[in-house]
A and B are shown apart, each in its own frame.
Chain A
């Protein structure tokens, strides 16, 4: 795994819409580096005989029949929304001007 650069952090911050000062970027790059170091130690323990786990239980093929069940009402669906308009979820501007 390549080292986490300051540019990587800046790129992620931009994607996550998180504003970070130059100091914070430096700090975060170092901190992420430490976290990756810890993960690396865990990877040393993992052996070839153990398959990677994506689910705690060894189950497959859990399906449901194609049957319609009642949905939430519009009011219920929107009840947790910070903002709403015209029966829809209202979100701030997504992209700026081109």
Chain B
């Protein structure tokens, strides 16, 4: 009998461990001045240093050190007063040097933690994920496997290497094992990677795009019978390219391992690849032993010893934790859960906050960004924030609240700004979009409407108030929507002796 997920977690206790690789968004590589632009022509961003040519001398990128320390501080780590780079030797052509410059026993940040909150059967619960280390290294080149049936490495006739990515600064964040998550292991894993991604984004140290590979997660999972107090053999799942996949990969591994154990089989310590379509994993190359990497201190680079003053200065630049900020803003704005979630998912939190800081009323600021502006952005397949500034939106909202713009006119202003006609105020000026609040101008239009529909006017005089809709409509049409309908109604009824 096969165990499903519920069955698996009733019998076995999962233990998690997560390794996250983050590509830093520095302009140049970790040890040389080559550009880090994504999507450049193959092998056009390389030099003797990142190609590992004889005699080349690497020099550490100061910005990468700074970013690594910022990450460590944001994750409550201690920053090592002395840390060194090491060569990680391995037999694989994705590094032309035949080793990756990494850190081994002297990482730059150690002993941190990150608290994540998830929804459990007993309500919201906080899990502490302890961080063992944050270390610096460099990314590898990209391989293209040619020939063979699958396009995969196994059975390929040859491989083609592009070293543009080789040497881009990479930071690896390694957790300690996370015990006691029980059946919530997949959600804890996802919440951790989400929270980490948000923190990295708020620090501005990485693009954190999982689909482009600037944030990558390896999930280690092991199982032991509940109550055994033991740790099982772990597998390491790679190729997990979205937050949803993190969750699916962990639950998939729990099910697979539980069923192997049930069948009396052994778990092999190995690297597995996540398959996006099925949510399952398949075996990759079997894990080389740690000592096979023959780590030794990198003789071409000198130790990094950040002084306390620098670390202290960097500490002042750590922003409020994103989850804390979200809660604070939600309370301040009195924003419903669903809407808050939409704002976060659409990455509109910053711009809405800016718009509100510029004086816009919170509910309207949220509605405009999530509604009309997002709709237009979707049509154009661009980010809403690339269409219009918070300043323009705040100005438009102020005019709506002040009665100078109707929602309909405001939409025209937004459209004008987006199509490049200038700022909100210049669009209003050029298109003549202000609400006609001048009573005499409105009265002219009202009288014209009455003259055009005398029968309707008579019915209103006779007490048929709902008939006023037709005349109000005519006035709105005549003013091109530039009138406040409530005001027109008031003036019209008064004029016909029904006010």
| A interface list, Cβ under 8 A from B | 15-17, 54-55, 57, 59-74, 77-78, 80, 85-98
Point out the residues of chain B lying under 8 angstroms from A55, CB to CB. 297, 299, 301-303
Choose among B33, B48, B157, B299 the residue with the greatest number of A CB atoms under 10 Å from its CB. Answer: B33
In the bound complex, CA of A98 to CA of B286 (Å):
11
A74-B42, A91-B93, A94-B156 given; name 5 further pairs at CB < 8 Å: A63-B60, A67-B28, A77-B43, A94-B93, A96-B154
Evaluate whether A63 and B61 lie within 8 angstroms (CB atoms) in the complex, with A68-B28, A86-B160, A93-B158 already known. Answer: yes
Q: Which 10 A-B pairs have the closest CB atoms?
A: A69-B33, A54-B297, A66-B63, A88-B160, A63-B62, A89-B161, A87-B42, A60-B305, A64-B59, A59-B302
CB distance from A1 to the nearest CB of B (A): 12
CB distance from A90 to the nearest CB of B (A): 6
> CB of B41 within 8 A of chain A?
yes
* Interface residue count on the B side (C-beta < 8 Å): 56
In the bound complex, CA of A57 to CA of B301 (Å):
10
0 or 1 for each of B418-445: is its CB under 8 Å from A? (1 = yes): 0000000000000000000000000000
Is there an interface contact between A88 and B144, defined as CB atoms closer than 8 Å?
yes
Q: Which single member of B34, B62, B65 contacts A69 (CB below 8 Å)?
A: B34
Q: Which residue of A lies closest to B37 (CB)?
A: A68
In the bound complex, CA of A67 to CA of B84 (Å):
23
CB distance from B152 to the nearest CB of A (A): 9
> CB of B26 within 8 A of chain A?
yes
Is there an interface contact between A54 and B84, defined as CB atoms closer than 8 Å?
yes
Instruction: Provide 10 A-B residue pairs closer than 8 Å at the C-beta atoms, listed in order of the A residue.
Output: A17-B91, A55-B302, A60-B303, A64-B33, A66-B27, A88-B43, A89-B161, A91-B161, A94-B156, A98-B154
Evaluate whether A68 and B44 lie within 8 angstroms (CB atoms) in the complex, with A15-B292, A60-B304, A95-B153 already known. Answer: no
> CB of B47 within 8 A of chain A?
yes
Point out the residues of chain A lying under 8 angstroms from B156, CB to CB. 93-94
Evaluate whether A62 and B60 lie within 8 angstroms (CB atoms) in the complex, with A54-B299, A71-B34, A96-B154 already known. Answer: yes
Is there an interface contact between B33 and A68, defined as CB atoms closer than 8 Å?
yes
Is there an interface contact between A64 and B61, defined as CB atoms closer than 8 Å?
yes
CB distance from A43 to the nearest CB of B (A): 15
Q: List B339-365 residues whose CB lies under 8 Å from chain A.
A: none
Is there an interface contact between B43 and A68, defined as CB atoms closer than 8 Å?
no
> CB of B38 within 8 A of chain A?
no
> CB of B132 within 8 A of chain A?
no
In the bound complex, CA of A27 to CA of B33 (Å):
46
CB distance from B41 to the nearest CB of A (A): 7
Q: Which residue of B lies closest to A55 (CB)?
A: B302
> CB of B311 within 8 A of chain A?
no
Interface secondary structure of A, over-half rule: loop
Evaluate whether A61 and B46 lie within 8 angstroms (CB atoms) in the complex, with A68-B27, A71-B35, A92-B158 already known. Answer: no
Q: Which single member of B51, B60, B158 contacts A91 (CB below 8 Å)?
A: B158
Q: Which single member of A16, A17, A59, A74 contacts B44 (CB below 8 Å)?
A: A74
Point out the residues of chain A lying under 8 angstroms from B62, CB to CB. 63-66
0 or 1 for each of B55-70: is its CB under 8 Å from A? (1 = yes): 0000111111100000
In the bound complex, CA of A87 to CA of B160 (Å):
9
Q: List B60-105 residues whose CB lies under 8 Å from chain A.
A: 60-65, 82, 84, 91-93, 96
Choose among B96, B154, B292, B302 the residue with the greatest number of A CB atoms under 10 Å from its CB. Answer: B302
> CB of B330 within 8 A of chain A?
no
Q: Which single member of B157, B160, B298 contacts A54 (CB below 8 Å)?
A: B298
CB distance from A76 to the nearest CB of B (A): 9
Q: Which residue of B lies closest to A97 (CB)?
A: B155
Point out the residues of chain A lying under 8 angstroms from B93, CB to CB. 89, 91, 94
In the bound complex, CA of A10 to CA of B42 (Å):
37
> CB of B159 within 8 A of chain A?
yes
Evaluate whether A72 and B47 lie within 8 angstroms (CB atoms) in the complex, with A60-B302, A89-B161, A93-B157 already known. Answer: yes
CB distance from A27 to the nearest CB of B (A): 22
> CB of B162 within 8 A of chain A?
yes
Evaluate whether A94 and B159 lie within 8 angstroms (CB atoms) in the complex, with A15-B91, A61-B305, A71-B46 already known. Answer: yes
Point out the residues of chain A lying under 8 angstroms from B96, CB to CB. 89
In the bound complex, CA of A80 to CA of B47 (Å):
12
In the bound complex, CA of A88 to CA of B166 (Å):
13
Evaluate whether A93 and B159 lie within 8 angstroms (CB atoms) in the complex, with A15-B91, A60-B303, A61-B304 already known. Answer: yes
Point out the residues of chain B lying under 8 angstroms from A54, CB to CB. 84, 297-299, 303
CB distance from A23 to the nearest CB of B (A): 24
Q: Which single member of A57, A65, A68 contacts B302 (CB below 8 Å)?
A: A57
CB distance from A69 to the nearest CB of B (A): 3
In the bound complex, CA of A62 to CA of B93 (Å):
29
Is there an interface contact between A91 and B159, defined as CB atoms closer than 8 Å?
yes
In the bound complex, CA of A86 to CA of B154 (Å):
21
